[in-house]
């Protein structure tokens, strides 16, 4: 195998560096499947990794990219053979194991999922970790027994990657979607995805009260912090919020009041180490339920050369929807 191009994070005395360079096959880590990557995505965690804003990367040098899609080149795993189209999200790829923002990846076959029928590699990465996380959140709300008849559904960080897919999925399932965003200029975009109401982020950003007026039965929160605390305080009795992100902070300045006085549930979503069966089920639902026209409308595609320059904008909330990186 010849050298291949990849973004590489290096550790230096002055901090970390990020550069697009040639990588030798000998630099790849252990794994039983080698994949020729065609597409990757840019997620919030990738922005943190590439800028060093938080200690996401635990091993140097590191190829960032927490997800990818491509074709198997070589395999020692019984489930995969050369030519198979595959998708990967999570499992520490781009954090502790070399990731998807390069032309080749070597990983454990147990981490892979066959490319779902009906999805191209590009669209699979338009969904990516963000859309997969949104679907896990929808499934968690359904398992809790919530339906569109239960009441409205809130989506925070609605103009971002997780939020955009969550809005589209919930609307497709028949929910009245309340989209909370700090970007008022994205109201038309969110309405096209299916939002029935637009809520300014300030309505959820104040000092949280133990309880507030009941407004929604369900929610998908990618923000955390005060936003999540206020969302819980405004959730109807018996409702639930699926927490799947921390763009607004790791703290939760809430109280037990929503839980013991209204029976509200906080559902934690871990998209990194989801077992294979629910992982494949989530991808199957995405391939079946997500409106591909809406997916295309929320997606921007950039070449590999431009991926490194997008990290700061991603963290600053200046990126709408999903960004796909065309690696090949």
pLDDT for 15: 85
pLDDT tens, 255-292?
Answer: 999 999 999 999 999 999 999 999 999 999 999 999 99
Question: Binning pLDDT at 50, 70 and 90, where does residue 184 land?
Answer: confident
Please check the confidence at residue 249 and state whether its pLDDT lies above 90.
Answer: no
Whether the predicted pLDDT of 317 surpasses 90: no
The whole-number average pLDDT for the span 78-85 is 98
Averaged pLDDT for residues 221-236: 97
This prediction's pTM: 0.94
pLDDT band at 8 (very low <50, low <70, confident <90, very high): very high
What pLDDT is recorded for position 149? 98
CA 118 to chain centre: 20
**What's the pLDDT at 109?**
98
Query: How do residues 136-156 score in pLDDT, each as one tens digit?
Result: 999 999 999 999 999 999 999
pLDDT tens column, 95-129: 999 999 999 999 999 999 999 999 999 999 999 99
Exposure b/e, 47-81, CB count within 10 A at least 16 = b: bbbbbbeeebbeeebbbbbbbbbbbbbebebeebe
Residue pair 283/132 in contact by the 8 Å Cβ criterion: yes
**Across 191-203, average pLDDT:** 95
Please state, for a pLDDT cut of 70, what percent of the chain lies above it: 100
Mean pLDDT (the chain, rounded):
96
In the chain, the domains with their CATH numbers are 4-115+298-326 (3.90.180.10), 129-268 (3.40.50.720)
């Amino acid at each position: 195998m010849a050298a291949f191009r990849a973004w590489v994070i290096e550790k230096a005395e002055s901090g970390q560096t990020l550069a697009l360079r040639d990588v030798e096959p000998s630099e790849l880590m252990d794994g039983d499947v080698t994949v020729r990557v065609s597409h990757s995505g840019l997620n919030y965690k990738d922005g943190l990794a590439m800028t060093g804003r938080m200690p996401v990367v635990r091993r140097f040098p590191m190829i960032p990219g927490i997800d990818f899609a491509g074709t198997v080149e070589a395999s020692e795993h019984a489930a995969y053979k050369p030519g198979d189209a595959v998708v990967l999200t999570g499992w520490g790829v781009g954090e502790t194991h070399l990731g998807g923002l390069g032309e080749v990846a070597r990983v454990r076959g147990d981490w892979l999922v066959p490319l779902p029928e009906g999805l191209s590699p590009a669209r699979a990465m338009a969904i990516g970790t963000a859309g997969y996380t949104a679907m896990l959140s929808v499934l968690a709300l359904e398992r809790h027994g919530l339906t569109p008849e239960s009441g409205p559904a809130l989506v925070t960080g609605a103009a971002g990657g997780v939020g955009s897919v969550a809005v589209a999925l919930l609307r497709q399932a028949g929910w009245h979607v309340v989209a909370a965003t700090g970007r008022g200029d994205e109201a038309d975009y969110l309405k096209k995805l299916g939002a029935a109401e637009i809520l300014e982020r300030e309505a959820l950003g104040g000092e949280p009260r133990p309880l507030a007026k009941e407004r929604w039965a369900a929610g998908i929160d990618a923000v955390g912090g005060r936003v999540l605390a206020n969302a819980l305080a405004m959730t109807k009795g018996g409702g639930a919020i699926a927490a799947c992100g921390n763009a607004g902070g790791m703290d939760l300045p809430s109280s037990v009041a929503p839980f013991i006085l209204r029976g509200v549930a906080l559902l934690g979503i871990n998209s990194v180490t989801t077992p294979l069966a629910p992982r494949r089920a989530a991808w199957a639902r995405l391939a079946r339920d997500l409106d591909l026209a809406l997916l295309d409308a929320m997606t921007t595609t950039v070449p590999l050369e431009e991926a490194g320059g997008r990290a700061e904008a991603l963290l600053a909330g200046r990126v709408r929807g999903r960004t796909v990186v065309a690696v090949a």
